[in-house]
Amino acid sequence: MKIAIIGTRGIPNNYGGFEQFAEQLSVRLAERGHIVTVFNPSFHLYLEKTFKNVSIVKLPCHENILGGAAHFFYDYYCYKYAIKQNVDVALFCGYGTSAIAIALLNKHYTKAITNMDGFEWQRAKYNFITKKLLKWFEKIAVKYSDTIVADHSIIQKYYNNKYKVVPALISYGAEIPLHFDESTIVSFELTKYNYFLVVARDEPENQIEFIISAWKNSGNINKLCVVTNFQRLSRKYSNEKNIVFINRLYNSIQLSNLRHFSLACIHGHTVGGTNPSLLEAMAAQSFIIAHDNLFHREILENNAIYFNSESSLSLILHNFSAKSEKTDKAISNNLNKIRDDYQWGIITDKYLEVFEKILTLKKQKKNIDAD
Protein backbone atom coordinates (compact mmCIF):
# COMPACT_ATOMS: atom_id res chain seq x y z
CA MET A 1 0.00 0.00 0.00
CA LYS A 2 1.22 3.50 -0.81
CA ILE A 3 0.49 5.90 2.04
CA ALA A 4 1.14 9.63 2.41
CA ILE A 5 0.96 11.64 5.63
CA ILE A 6 0.08 15.31 5.14
CA GLY A 7 -0.50 18.30 7.39
CA THR A 8 2.39 18.27 9.86
CA ARG A 9 5.56 20.28 10.25
CA GLY A 10 7.53 17.21 9.31
CA ILE A 11 9.62 14.44 10.78
CA PRO A 12 11.72 13.80 12.74
CA ASN A 13 9.57 15.64 15.25
CA ASN A 14 10.72 19.06 16.36
CA TYR A 15 7.37 20.66 17.05
CA GLY A 16 4.47 18.83 18.68
CA GLY A 17 1.89 16.08 18.93
CA PHE A 18 0.96 15.57 15.28
CA GLU A 19 4.63 15.48 14.30
CA GLN A 20 5.30 12.82 16.92
CA PHE A 21 2.27 10.92 15.65
CA ALA A 22 3.46 11.14 12.01
CA GLU A 23 6.93 9.94 12.97
CA GLN A 24 5.78 6.99 15.04
CA LEU A 25 3.06 5.83 12.64
CA SER A 26 5.04 6.27 9.41
CA VAL A 27 8.04 4.30 10.68
CA ARG A 28 5.84 1.41 11.81
CA LEU A 29 3.92 1.36 8.53
CA ALA A 30 7.23 1.23 6.65
CA GLU A 31 8.44 -1.60 8.91
CA ARG A 32 5.39 -3.60 7.76
CA GLY A 33 6.36 -3.24 4.13
CA HIS A 34 4.21 -0.31 3.05
CA ILE A 35 5.53 2.53 0.89
CA VAL A 36 5.21 5.59 3.10
CA THR A 37 5.80 9.27 2.33
CA VAL A 38 5.79 12.09 4.86
CA PHE A 39 5.77 15.64 3.56
CA ASN A 40 8.11 18.11 5.25
CA PRO A 41 7.91 21.88 4.80
CA SER A 42 10.96 23.47 3.21
CA PHE A 43 12.05 25.04 6.51
CA HIS A 44 12.40 21.69 8.29
CA LEU A 45 16.02 21.13 9.29
CA TYR A 46 16.19 17.44 8.33
CA LEU A 47 18.07 17.17 5.04
CA GLU A 48 17.98 13.45 4.18
CA LYS A 49 15.50 12.00 1.68
CA THR A 50 14.55 9.08 3.90
CA PHE A 51 13.98 8.63 7.62
CA LYS A 52 13.98 5.00 8.83
CA ASN A 53 12.72 3.78 5.43
CA VAL A 54 10.09 6.54 5.21
CA SER A 55 10.38 8.73 2.13
CA ILE A 56 10.68 12.44 2.96
CA VAL A 57 9.39 14.90 0.36
CA LYS A 58 10.13 18.57 0.98
CA LEU A 59 7.83 21.13 -0.60
CA PRO A 60 7.81 24.94 -0.34
CA CYS A 61 6.01 26.47 2.63
CA HIS A 62 6.48 30.23 2.73
CA GLU A 63 5.56 30.72 6.36
CA ASN A 64 8.09 33.53 6.70
CA ILE A 65 6.15 35.53 4.07
CA LEU A 66 2.52 34.43 4.47
CA GLY A 67 2.45 33.33 8.10
CA GLY A 68 -0.05 30.59 8.92
CA ALA A 69 -1.81 31.09 5.58
CA ALA A 70 1.17 29.44 3.88
CA HIS A 71 -0.06 26.07 5.12
CA PHE A 72 -3.24 26.26 3.02
CA PHE A 73 -1.07 26.31 -0.11
CA TYR A 74 1.40 23.83 1.35
CA ASP A 75 -1.27 21.21 2.15
CA TYR A 76 -2.76 21.67 -1.33
CA TYR A 77 0.63 21.07 -2.99
CA CYS A 78 1.27 18.02 -0.79
CA TYR A 79 -2.05 16.41 -1.68
CA LYS A 80 -1.60 17.20 -5.38
CA TYR A 81 1.87 15.63 -5.26
CA ALA A 82 0.47 12.51 -3.56
CA ILE A 83 -2.24 12.20 -6.22
CA LYS A 84 0.34 12.44 -9.02
CA GLN A 85 2.31 9.66 -7.33
CA ASN A 86 -0.81 7.44 -7.28
CA VAL A 87 -0.73 7.14 -3.53
CA ASP A 88 -3.52 4.87 -2.26
CA VAL A 89 -4.29 6.75 0.93
CA ALA A 90 -3.52 10.29 2.10
CA LEU A 91 -3.79 10.68 5.87
CA PHE A 92 -4.35 14.31 6.86
CA CYS A 93 -3.31 15.42 10.33
CA GLY A 94 -5.95 17.97 11.21
CA TYR A 95 -8.32 19.88 8.97
CA GLY A 96 -7.59 23.56 9.69
CA THR A 97 -5.48 24.21 6.59
CA SER A 98 -6.19 21.04 4.61
CA ALA A 99 -10.01 21.05 4.27
CA ILE A 100 -9.94 23.26 1.16
CA ALA A 101 -7.37 21.00 -0.52
CA ILE A 102 -9.48 17.93 0.26
CA ALA A 103 -12.61 19.57 -1.15
CA LEU A 104 -10.85 20.66 -4.36
CA LEU A 105 -8.79 17.55 -5.07
CA ASN A 106 -10.57 14.53 -3.60
CA LYS A 107 -11.98 13.36 -6.92
CA HIS A 108 -9.01 11.18 -7.80
CA TYR A 109 -7.54 7.75 -7.13
CA THR A 110 -5.99 8.76 -3.79
CA LYS A 111 -8.37 8.45 -0.84
CA ALA A 112 -8.43 11.16 1.86
CA ILE A 113 -8.63 10.20 5.53
CA THR A 114 -8.64 13.05 8.05
CA ASN A 115 -7.67 12.86 11.70
CA MET A 116 -9.92 15.62 13.04
CA ASP A 117 -7.75 16.42 16.08
CA GLY A 118 -9.50 18.20 18.98
CA PHE A 119 -12.03 21.01 18.95
CA GLU A 120 -9.80 23.51 17.20
CA TRP A 121 -12.43 26.25 17.32
CA GLN A 122 -12.31 26.19 21.13
CA ARG A 123 -8.68 27.31 21.29
CA ALA A 124 -8.27 30.55 23.21
CA LYS A 125 -5.56 31.84 20.88
CA TYR A 126 -8.03 32.24 17.97
CA ASN A 127 -10.25 35.28 17.46
CA PHE A 128 -13.96 35.14 16.66
CA ILE A 129 -13.53 35.13 12.86
CA THR A 130 -10.88 32.40 12.94
CA LYS A 131 -13.09 30.24 15.15
CA LYS A 132 -15.98 30.64 12.67
CA LEU A 133 -13.68 29.70 9.78
CA LEU A 134 -12.47 26.62 11.65
CA LYS A 135 -16.05 25.44 12.15
CA TRP A 136 -16.62 25.88 8.42
CA PHE A 137 -13.42 23.97 7.59
CA GLU A 138 -14.55 21.23 9.97
CA LYS A 139 -17.80 20.87 8.02
CA ILE A 140 -15.92 20.75 4.70
CA ALA A 141 -13.49 18.13 5.97
CA VAL A 142 -16.33 15.90 7.16
CA LYS A 143 -18.15 16.27 3.83
CA TYR A 144 -15.24 15.67 1.46
CA SER A 145 -12.99 13.22 3.34
CA ASP A 146 -13.54 9.56 2.50
CA THR A 147 -13.54 8.89 6.21
CA ILE A 148 -12.58 10.74 9.37
CA VAL A 149 -10.79 9.66 12.53
CA ALA A 150 -11.47 10.78 16.10
CA ASP A 151 -8.81 10.31 18.77
CA HIS A 152 -11.24 10.26 21.71
CA SER A 153 -14.75 8.90 22.26
CA ILE A 154 -16.08 12.39 23.13
CA ILE A 155 -14.79 13.67 19.78
CA GLN A 156 -16.37 10.68 18.06
CA LYS A 157 -19.75 11.36 19.72
CA TYR A 158 -19.59 15.02 18.72
CA TYR A 159 -19.21 14.19 15.00
CA ASN A 160 -21.86 11.51 15.22
CA ASN A 161 -24.35 13.90 16.79
CA LYS A 162 -23.56 16.95 14.66
CA TYR A 163 -22.92 15.42 11.23
CA LYS A 164 -24.51 11.95 11.53
CA VAL A 165 -21.23 10.23 10.67
CA VAL A 166 -19.34 7.65 12.71
CA PRO A 167 -15.60 8.41 12.76
CA ALA A 168 -13.11 5.63 13.28
CA LEU A 169 -11.99 5.80 16.90
CA ILE A 170 -8.18 5.69 17.00
CA SER A 171 -6.17 7.35 19.73
CA TYR A 172 -2.54 8.40 19.75
CA GLY A 173 0.09 6.03 21.05
CA ALA A 174 2.98 6.02 23.46
CA GLU A 175 6.20 4.04 23.76
CA ILE A 176 6.93 2.42 27.11
CA PRO A 177 10.59 3.15 27.97
CA LEU A 178 12.72 0.13 28.80
CA HIS A 179 14.88 1.93 31.34
CA PHE A 180 15.50 5.35 32.86
CA ASP A 181 18.71 7.31 33.36
CA GLU A 182 19.23 10.02 35.97
CA SER A 183 21.98 11.69 33.92
CA THR A 184 19.29 13.63 32.01
CA ILE A 185 17.90 15.35 35.09
CA VAL A 186 21.41 15.95 36.46
CA SER A 187 22.28 17.80 33.25
CA PHE A 188 19.39 20.19 33.98
CA GLU A 189 20.43 20.58 37.64
CA LEU A 190 17.42 18.68 38.91
CA THR A 191 17.15 16.03 41.63
CA LYS A 192 14.84 13.05 41.32
CA TYR A 193 11.41 13.42 42.92
CA ASN A 194 12.18 17.03 43.88
CA TYR A 195 10.48 18.83 41.01
CA PHE A 196 7.13 19.13 39.30
CA LEU A 197 7.13 18.93 35.51
CA VAL A 198 5.11 20.68 32.80
CA VAL A 199 5.56 19.70 29.13
CA ALA A 200 3.50 21.87 26.79
CA ARG A 201 3.71 24.52 24.09
CA ASP A 202 3.18 28.09 25.28
CA GLU A 203 -0.47 28.35 24.22
CA PRO A 204 -3.29 29.86 26.33
CA GLU A 205 -5.26 26.61 26.47
CA ASN A 206 -2.26 24.76 27.97
CA GLN A 207 -2.34 27.06 31.04
CA ILE A 208 1.39 27.24 31.72
CA GLU A 209 1.22 30.64 33.44
CA PHE A 210 -1.81 29.46 35.41
CA ILE A 211 0.30 26.51 36.66
CA ILE A 212 3.28 28.74 37.47
CA SER A 213 1.07 31.06 39.49
CA ALA A 214 -0.51 28.16 41.38
CA TRP A 215 2.91 26.70 42.13
CA LYS A 216 4.24 30.07 43.37
CA ASN A 217 1.25 30.48 45.69
CA SER A 218 1.42 26.92 47.00
CA GLY A 219 4.48 27.38 49.18
CA ASN A 220 5.86 24.07 47.90
CA ILE A 221 9.66 24.08 48.09
CA ASN A 222 10.13 21.65 45.17
CA LYS A 223 11.23 23.11 41.85
CA LEU A 224 9.00 23.58 38.81
CA CYS A 225 10.48 22.41 35.50
CA VAL A 226 8.77 23.71 32.35
CA VAL A 227 9.56 22.24 28.93
CA THR A 228 8.17 24.62 26.31
CA ASN A 229 9.01 27.16 23.62
CA PHE A 230 10.27 29.29 26.45
CA GLN A 231 11.53 32.70 25.30
CA ARG A 232 8.56 34.74 26.50
CA LEU A 233 8.08 32.85 29.75
CA SER A 234 11.76 32.63 30.65
CA ARG A 235 12.07 36.41 30.32
CA LYS A 236 8.93 37.04 32.37
CA TYR A 237 9.99 34.70 35.17
CA SER A 238 13.75 35.27 35.03
CA ASN A 239 13.86 36.14 38.75
CA GLU A 240 12.25 32.87 39.81
CA LYS A 241 15.23 30.79 40.88
CA ASN A 242 13.21 27.60 41.43
CA ILE A 243 11.75 27.48 37.93
CA VAL A 244 13.83 25.55 35.38
CA PHE A 245 12.90 26.32 31.77
CA ILE A 246 13.95 23.87 29.05
CA ASN A 247 13.56 25.06 25.48
CA ARG A 248 11.94 22.90 22.79
CA LEU A 249 13.12 19.47 23.95
CA TYR A 250 12.04 16.73 21.51
CA ASN A 251 14.43 13.94 22.49
CA SER A 252 12.02 11.21 23.59
CA ILE A 253 14.56 9.51 25.89
CA GLN A 254 15.35 12.73 27.73
CA LEU A 255 11.67 13.60 28.01
CA SER A 256 10.89 10.16 29.42
CA ASN A 257 13.65 10.56 32.00
CA LEU A 258 12.37 13.99 33.01
CA ARG A 259 8.85 12.63 33.40
CA HIS A 260 9.87 9.50 35.27
CA PHE A 261 11.99 11.25 37.90
CA SER A 262 9.52 14.08 38.50
CA LEU A 263 7.49 14.25 41.69
CA ALA A 264 4.47 14.66 39.40
CA CYS A 265 3.59 15.85 35.89
CA ILE A 266 1.11 18.72 35.85
CA HIS A 267 -1.08 18.46 32.77
CA GLY A 268 -3.02 21.66 32.22
CA HIS A 269 -4.38 21.13 28.70
CA THR A 270 -8.01 22.24 28.44
CA VAL A 271 -8.89 21.66 24.76
CA GLY A 272 -10.23 18.22 24.03
CA GLY A 273 -8.88 15.07 22.52
CA THR A 274 -6.31 12.53 23.61
CA ASN A 275 -3.13 14.50 24.26
CA PRO A 276 0.11 12.68 23.30
CA SER A 277 2.02 14.34 26.15
CA LEU A 278 -0.42 12.87 28.67
CA LEU A 279 0.01 9.35 27.28
CA GLU A 280 3.80 9.75 27.31
CA ALA A 281 3.70 10.79 30.98
CA MET A 282 1.63 7.70 31.77
CA ALA A 283 4.09 5.50 29.85
CA ALA A 284 7.05 7.05 31.68
CA GLN A 285 5.46 6.11 35.02
CA SER A 286 4.97 9.64 36.26
CA PHE A 287 2.20 10.54 38.66
CA ILE A 288 -0.21 12.99 37.04
CA ILE A 289 -1.98 16.09 38.32
CA ALA A 290 -4.47 16.98 35.57
CA HIS A 291 -6.96 19.67 34.64
CA ASP A 292 -10.43 18.37 35.43
CA ASN A 293 -12.26 17.77 32.16
CA LEU A 294 -14.12 14.87 30.57
CA PHE A 295 -11.28 14.05 28.18
CA HIS A 296 -8.77 13.52 30.98
CA ARG A 297 -11.28 11.77 33.23
CA GLU A 298 -12.00 9.11 30.61
CA ILE A 299 -8.31 8.31 30.15
CA LEU A 300 -7.01 8.65 33.71
CA GLU A 301 -10.17 7.67 35.61
CA ASN A 302 -9.31 7.72 39.34
CA ASN A 303 -5.57 7.45 38.72
CA ALA A 304 -4.75 11.16 38.98
CA ILE A 305 -5.45 14.22 41.10
CA TYR A 306 -7.62 16.80 39.34
CA PHE A 307 -7.77 20.59 39.61
CA ASN A 308 -10.34 23.00 38.22
CA SER A 309 -9.02 26.35 39.47
CA GLU A 310 -5.76 28.04 40.38
CA SER A 311 -6.62 27.85 44.08
CA SER A 312 -7.41 24.10 43.88
CA LEU A 313 -4.08 23.44 42.14
CA SER A 314 -2.23 25.54 44.73
CA LEU A 315 -3.81 23.48 47.50
CA ILE A 316 -2.89 20.21 45.77
CA LEU A 317 0.72 21.33 45.38
CA HIS A 318 0.85 22.64 48.95
CA ASN A 319 -0.08 19.19 50.25
CA PHE A 320 1.97 17.17 47.75
CA SER A 321 5.51 16.57 49.00
CA ALA A 322 6.25 12.90 48.33
CA LYS A 323 4.98 9.87 46.47
CA SER A 324 2.98 7.29 48.38
CA GLU A 325 1.47 3.83 48.07
CA LYS A 326 -1.62 5.50 46.57
CA THR A 327 0.33 7.38 43.90
CA ASP A 328 2.36 4.26 43.08
CA LYS A 329 -0.88 2.34 42.51
CA ALA A 330 -2.14 5.08 40.19
CA ILE A 331 1.14 5.02 38.24
CA SER A 332 0.86 1.24 37.84
CA ASN A 333 -2.76 1.45 36.66
CA ASN A 334 -1.90 4.11 34.08
CA LEU A 335 1.02 2.06 32.78
CA ASN A 336 -1.24 -0.96 32.36
CA LYS A 337 -3.70 1.20 30.43
CA ILE A 338 -0.93 2.22 28.03
CA ARG A 339 0.01 -1.45 27.56
CA ASP A 340 -3.58 -2.45 26.85
CA ASP A 341 -4.87 0.46 24.75
CA TYR A 342 -2.24 2.93 23.62
CA GLN A 343 0.88 1.15 22.35
CA TRP A 344 1.92 2.27 18.87
CA GLY A 345 1.61 -1.24 17.47
CA ILE A 346 -2.10 -1.25 18.40
CA ILE A 347 -2.58 2.20 16.85
CA THR A 348 -0.84 1.11 13.64
CA ASP A 349 -3.11 -1.94 13.39
CA LYS A 350 -6.20 0.26 13.68
CA TYR A 351 -5.05 2.70 11.00
CA LEU A 352 -4.26 -0.14 8.61
CA GLU A 353 -7.72 -1.55 9.22
CA VAL A 354 -9.25 1.81 8.22
CA PHE A 355 -7.01 2.12 5.15
CA GLU A 356 -7.83 -1.40 3.97
CA LYS A 357 -11.56 -0.86 4.51
CA ILE A 358 -11.51 2.32 2.39
CA LEU A 359 -9.55 0.64 -0.39
CA THR A 360 -11.87 -2.39 -0.37
CA LEU A 361 -14.89 -0.10 -0.74
CA LYS A 362 -13.16 1.71 -3.58
CA LYS A 363 -12.43 -1.58 -5.33
CA GLN A 364 -16.03 -2.76 -4.91
CA LYS A 365 -17.34 0.52 -6.32
CA LYS A 366 -14.98 0.21 -9.27
CA ASN A 367 -16.24 -3.30 -9.98
CA ILE A 368 -19.88 -2.14 -9.80
CA ASP A 369 -19.16 0.74 -12.18
CA ALA A 370 -17.45 -1.69 -14.57
CA ASP A 371 -20.50 -3.95 -14.59
Instruction: Write phi, then psi, for 37 (nearest 5 degrees).
Output: -120, 130
Residue 290: left (phi > 0), alpha (psi -120 to 50), or beta?
beta
pLDDT of residue 370: 56
**CATH number assigned to the domain covering 183-342:** 3.40.50.2000
Is residue 348 within 8 Å of 25, Cβ to Cβ? yes
> Which CATH number describes the domain made up of 2-173+344-370?
3.40.50.2000
Q: What is the pLDDT of residue 367?
A: 63
Give backbone dihedrals phi and psi of 30, rounded to 5 degrees, phi first: -65, -40
Domain ranges, ordered by start, for the chain: 2-173+344-370, 183-342
Give the span between the Cα atoms of 23 and 5, in whole angstroms: 10
Instruction: Kindly list the strands in the beta sheet with 168-169, ordered across the sheet, starting from the edge strand earlier in the chain.
Output: 50-51, 54-59, 35-41, 2-6, 89-93, 111-115, 147-150, 168-169
* Chain mean position to CA 241: 31
Per-residue pLDDT of the chain (371 residues; tens, 9 = 90+): 999 999 999 999 999 889 999 999 999 999 999 999 999 999 999 999 999 999 999 999 999 999 999 999 999 999 999 999 999 999 999 999 999 999 999 988 899 999 999 888 888 888 999 999 999 999 999 999 999 999 999 999 999 999 999 999 999 999 999 999 999 999 999 999 999 999 999 998 999 999 999 999 999 999 999 999 878 898 899 899 999 999 989 999 999 999 999 999 999 999 878 999 999 999 999 999 999 999 999 999 999 999 999 999 999 999 998 999 999 999 999 999 999 999 999 999 999 999 999 999 877 766 656 55
In the three-class reduction of DSSP (H, G, I as helix; E, B as strand; rest coil), residue 25 is classed as helix
Report strand pairing: 223-228 vs 195-199.
Answer: parallel
Total-model pTM: 0.93
2-173+344-370 and 183-342 share one fold: yes
